[in-house]
């Protein structure tokens, strides 16, 4: 599509303007919600034991718990559901749905695909209406009659839906409640919309009209109707596409200025730490550093998010990292990375779940379903504990090598076990300075471990449900977690309470990732959407739909402009952040993908998962191809052919790929458990 179009948003007659989206962050928009819905939500939260959320919601919406309200709650829920009350003859539903289908079938080719979008939500709501009004048999007949007509990517949800066959079931089904509490968003062109409106008025198709008014939100835009491919690439989420205005806000996707670290480093220090690095290399490094220090126009203000002061040791660390980076192999089509695969043997018994490799590629942590965490060293440097307090006293604190002296050589070992969780460890994450390790577990806690003493330092309790994912921020200090309680939370290591709670996903938040500039976090959820949240104000700034299954992993490109995501739908989707548009879909995997990794220069993307295969993609090509399109805010046609960008496919024997990690020199480390 050519030009950015003016945004039109037309609401159907009868729709209450008060019914604002839940998309834009429940936490901020609560006041405008009508109190009935709000209390129903509260009730729902209570029912599902989401106490933390409930409390927060209460706090934010300024609702005091009053006993009357509590006693009336049952009524409230039913009043939410009562939207489904209908006097319509159950026998009419099938006919009306069939009419709608035939109308869409006979409509113009240009608008057909857009109109077909409403079939699925109308089907779902008609079915739920039938169920609600106790027309059990008709409901089942209706379902079996038309469920096969729906798009294949709705199948999973339809299975869930098919379990709901009784009115009393409705309030227990999470999916059902999602349909009820949020409007299904459909975007269509004005042409399609007017065609639809004409049809509904002509035919007096009241049931469909009602559903459109009550449960659907039609986002109308001017312009050429989209084709099937465009629609399909955006569809799949539980509640339809993202609304247009959801992705309007400006975000700072540039990188932060690299702190100036050169001047503070003593020559002596460098000589000590940098081993036998010749001095003459130093001038070479300077231009590189200065180039990096050019301010990025898209970068956020340096102090937008307060970051901890860099200590001398941190600066040294940074310097080493940069030095390593400058020695990296430049990857490309004719220069593919080497892959080193770390296979976990005998991991079938205790079930490996998650793997993480530290930034400097020196440590590897693995979470197991028997609640253990194991840490391995990947370098000759052994894992040593800090000496006992008594011994530490004798060390001269002023000595240059004090960090070396405090280590107890007698404890050196290749592997350490961290015990403390009481449920499967779903995720681990090293801090950038590799001094700490975070782990999240089924026991709904996040634990911080010291890599000096190999013991647990803090248990962050806040989530009330299993914590699926945790990740350290790119500069340490902050970390984010994703939980089954449908929230993602931002924490700082020094507070036991979360700093931000990001609520808005309609189902489990599966994964969370920091933007490289530490100003945003991205979350992927079972509701098949990806959201980008502003850490500063907790607002959701991007909603990305297009995945057809729960999202398993997200990763940002090193320059912060792009994002890759993957999930149970076996595809990798590439997004650009400026407008939140889908750029490319990569589908060559045959099983769910667990891991993604960009190489250090962002030219190559590696993906791997359950199909025992590591695949490399030439994303540089894709990004350069899409560069011109970036100017327009309309999504380009998304091609899904994988062949011309697939650089290589490297199967393992029977080892699923759980983690991929590019070292600073662009060696790819993969890991996974061998299954006999």
Partner 1 sequence: MAEKEREVKGCLTQESIKVIGECVGVSSLNEEAGTLLADDVTFRLKMMVQEAAKFMKHAKRVKLSTADFDHTLRVQNIESLYGFSTEEHIPFRFASGGGRELHFVEEKELDLSDIINSSMPKIPLDVSLKAHWLSIEGTQPAIPENPPPVDTHTQKVESQDALRTKKPTAKAEKKSGKGDMGKTAATLLAKAKGLTSDPVKLKGVLVHELSVEQQLYYKEITEACVGSSETKRAEALHSLASDPGLYQVVPRFSMFIAEGVKVNVVQNNLAILIYLMRMVKALMDNVTLYLEKYLHELIPAVMTCVVSRQLSLRPDADNHWALRDFAARLMASMCRKFSTTTNNMQARISKTFDESLSKDKAPLATIYGALVGLAELGPEVMKTLVIPKVRMLGERLRIMTESLIINNPDKIAADHLKQLVQKHCAPYLKGVRSTPDVLHEYEEEFGYLGPFLFSHVTKLRFQPSTVTTQCSSTLTSSRPMITIPQGRPSTIITSGRSLSSSGFSPKTPSSLYSPTGTGLQRTFSSSGSGSTPSSQTKIVLVSATGSGRSSAQTSPVPSGSSTPTPSVFKLNPKSFSKSLSSSLAPSLASSLASSLSSSQTIVMSPTGTVKAERKSPPATASAGGTSSTNMLMSLAQAATMQTPIRSSSGEDHTQGS
Interaction site with partner 1 (CB under 8 A): 49, 147-148, 155-156, 158-160, 162-166, 168-169, 172-173, 335-347, 349-353, 364, 366, 368-369, 374, 376, 415, 423-424, 426, 442, 465-466, 468, 484, 508, 510, 526, 550, 568, 592, 594, 610, 614, 647-648, 650-653, 656, 658, 668, 670-671
Residues 244 and 222 sit within 8 Å (Cβ to Cβ): no
**553 or 633: whose CB is closer to partner 1?**
553
In 3D, which of 450, 312, 477 has the Cα closest to residue 383? 450
In 3D, which of 89, 77, 90, 71 has the Cα closest to residue 37? 77
Instruction: Give whole-number Cα distances, 599 to 33, 253, 363, 426, 607, in Å.
Output: 45, 18, 18, 25, 11
Q: For residues 524 and 505, give the distance between their C-alpha atoms in angstroms, rounded to a whole number.
A: 9
Q: Where are the alpha helices (DSSP H) in 51-89?
A: 51-61, 67-81
Phi and psi at 543, nearest 5°, equal -125, 125
**163 or 391: whose CB is closer to partner 1?**
163
Closest distance between partner 1 and the C-beta of residue 298, in Å? 33
Closest distance between partner 1 and the C-beta of residue 469, in Å? 9
Judged by DSSP in three states, 61 sits in helix
Closest distance between partner 1 and the C-beta of residue 250, in Å? 35
Residues 447 and 421 sit within 8 Å (Cβ to Cβ): yes
CB atoms within 10 A of CB 194: 13
Residues 28 and 20 sit within 8 Å (Cβ to Cβ): no
Three-class SS of 275-299: CCCCCCHHHHHHHHHHHHCCCCCCC
Residues 462 and 411 sit within 8 Å (Cβ to Cβ): no
**310 or 667: whose CB is closer to partner 1?**
667
**106 or 338: whose CB is closer to partner 1?**
338
Closest distance between partner 1 and the C-beta of residue 339, in Å? 4
CB atoms within 10 A of CB 24: 18
Name 69's Cβ contacts closer than 8 Å, sequence gap at least 6: 39
Q: For residues 534 and 249, give the distance between their C-alpha atoms in angstroms, rounded to a whole number.
A: 11
Helix 155-162, helix 174-181: angle, nearest 10: 110
**Strand 425-430 to 436-441 pairing:** antiparallel
CB atoms within 10 A of CB 395: 13
Closest distance between partner 1 and the C-beta of residue 169, in Å? 5
Residues 337 and 331 sit within 8 Å (Cβ to Cβ): yes
Phi and psi at 599, nearest 5°, equal -75, 170
Please give the helix or strand (H or E) that residue 488 lies within, else none.
strand 487-492
Residues 657 and 27 sit within 8 Å (Cβ to Cβ): no
In 3D, which of 431, 407, 433 has the Cα closest to residue 320? 433
* 378: Cα within 13 Å, side-chain hemisphere: 20
**237 or 633: whose CB is closer to partner 1?**
237
In 3D, which of 505, 431, 506 has the Cα closest to residue 470? 431
535 Cα distance to chain centroid? 14
**80 or 604: whose CB is closer to partner 1?**
604
Q: For residues 116 and 124, give the distance between their C-alpha atoms in angstroms, rounded to a whole number.
A: 14
**Strand 520-525 to 509-514 pairing:** antiparallel
Closest distance between partner 1 and the C-beta of residue 303, in Å? 37
Closest distance between partner 1 and the C-beta of residue 648, in Å? 6
Q: For residues 227 and 117, give the distance between their C-alpha atoms in angstroms, rounded to a whole number.
A: 11
**Strand 216-221 to 184-189 pairing:** parallel
Residues 254 and 46 sit within 8 Å (Cβ to Cβ): no
Residues 545 and 529 sit within 8 Å (Cβ to Cβ): yes
Task: Please report where in the chains the tokens 């099983």 appear, as a residue.
Answer: 591
Residues 631 and 640 sit within 8 Å (Cβ to Cβ): no
In 3D, which of 157, 133, 158 has the Cα closest to residue 144? 158
* 452: Cα within 13 Å, side-chain hemisphere: 11
**127 or 562: whose CB is closer to partner 1?**
127
């Amino acid at each position: 599509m050519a030009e950015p179009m003016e945004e039109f948003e037309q609401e159907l007659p009868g729709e209450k303007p008060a019914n604002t989206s839940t998309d834009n962050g429940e936490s901020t928009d609560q006041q405008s919600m009508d109190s009935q819905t709000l209390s129903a939500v509260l009730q729902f939260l209570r029912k599902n034991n989401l106490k933390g959320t409930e409390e927060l919601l209460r706090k934010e919406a300024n609702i005091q718990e009053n006993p009357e309200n509590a006693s009336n709650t049952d009524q409230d829920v039913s009043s939410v559901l009562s939207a489904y009350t209908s006097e319509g003859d159950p026998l009419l539903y099938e006919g009306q749905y069939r009419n709608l289908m035939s109308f869409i079938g006979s409509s113009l080719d240009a608008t057909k695909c857009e109109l077909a979008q409403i079939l699925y939500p109308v089907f779902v709501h008609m079915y739920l209406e039938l169920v609600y009004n106790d027309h059990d048999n008709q409901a089942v007949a209706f379902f079996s009659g038309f469920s096969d007509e729906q798009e294949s990517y709705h199948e999973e949800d339809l299975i869930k839906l098919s379990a709901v066959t009784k009115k009393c079931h409705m309030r227990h089904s999470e999916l059902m409640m999602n349909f009820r509490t949020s409007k299904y968003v459909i975007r269509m062109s004005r042409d399609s919309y007017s065609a639809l409106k004409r049809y509904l008025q002509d035919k007096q198709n009241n049931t469909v009209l009602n559903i459109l008014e009550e449960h659907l939100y039609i986002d109308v835009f001017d312009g050429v109707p989209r084709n099937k491919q465009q629609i399909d690439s955006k569809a799949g989420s539980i509640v339809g596409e993202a609304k247009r205005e959801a992705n309007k806000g400006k975000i700072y996707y540039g990188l932060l200025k690299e702190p100036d670290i050169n001047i503070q480093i003593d020559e002596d220090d460098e000589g000590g730490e940098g081993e036998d690095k010749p001095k003459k290399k130093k001038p070479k490094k300077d231009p590189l550093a200065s180039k990096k220090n050019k301010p990025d126009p898209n970068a956020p203000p340096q102090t937008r998010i307060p970051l901890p002061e860099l200590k001398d040791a941190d600066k040294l660390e940074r310097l080493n990292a940069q030095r390593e980076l400058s020695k990296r192999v430049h990857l490309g089509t004719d220069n593919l990375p080497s892959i080193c695969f770390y296979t976990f043997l005998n991991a079938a018994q205790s079930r490996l779940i998650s793997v993480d490799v530290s930034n400097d590629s020196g440590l590897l942590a693995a979470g197991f379903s028997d609640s253990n965490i194991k840490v391995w060293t990947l370098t000759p440097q052994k894992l040593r504990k800090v000496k006992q307090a008594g011994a530490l006293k004798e060390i001269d604190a002023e000595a240059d090598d004090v960090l070396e002296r405090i280590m107890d050589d007698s404890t050196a070992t290749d592997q350490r076990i961290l015990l403390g969780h009481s449920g499967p460890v779903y995720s681990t994450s090293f801090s950038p300075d590799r001094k700490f390790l975070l782990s999240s577990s089924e026991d709904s806690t996040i634990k911080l471990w010291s890599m000096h003493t190999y013991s647990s330092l803090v248990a962050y309790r806040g989530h009330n449900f299993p914590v699926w994912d945790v990740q350290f921020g790119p500069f340490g200090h902050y970390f984010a977690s994703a939980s089954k309680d449908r929230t993602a939370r931002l924490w700082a290591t020094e507070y036991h309470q979360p700093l931000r709670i990001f609520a808005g996903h309609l189902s489990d938040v599966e994964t969370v990732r920091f933007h490289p500039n530490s100003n945003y976090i991205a979350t992927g959820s079972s509701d098949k959407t990806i959201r980008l949240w502003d850490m500063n104000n907790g607002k959701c700034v991007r909603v990305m739909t297009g995945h057809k299954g729960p999202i398993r992993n997200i990763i940002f490109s090193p320059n912060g402009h792009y994002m890759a995501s993957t999930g149970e739908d076996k595809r990798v989707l590439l997004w650009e952040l400026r407008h939140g548009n889908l750029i490319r879909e990569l589908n060559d995997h045959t099983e769910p993908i667990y891991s993604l990794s960009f190489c250090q220069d962002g030219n190559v993307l590696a993906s791997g998962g359950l199909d025992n295969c590591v695949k490399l993609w030439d994303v540089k090509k894709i990004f350069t191809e899409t560069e011109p399109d970036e100017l327009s805010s309309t999504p380009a046609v998304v091609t899904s052919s994988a062949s011309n960008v697939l650089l290589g496919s490297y199967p393992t024997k029977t080892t699923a790929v759980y983690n991929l990690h590019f070292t600073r020199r662009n060696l790819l480390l993969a890991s996974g458990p061998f299954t006999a």
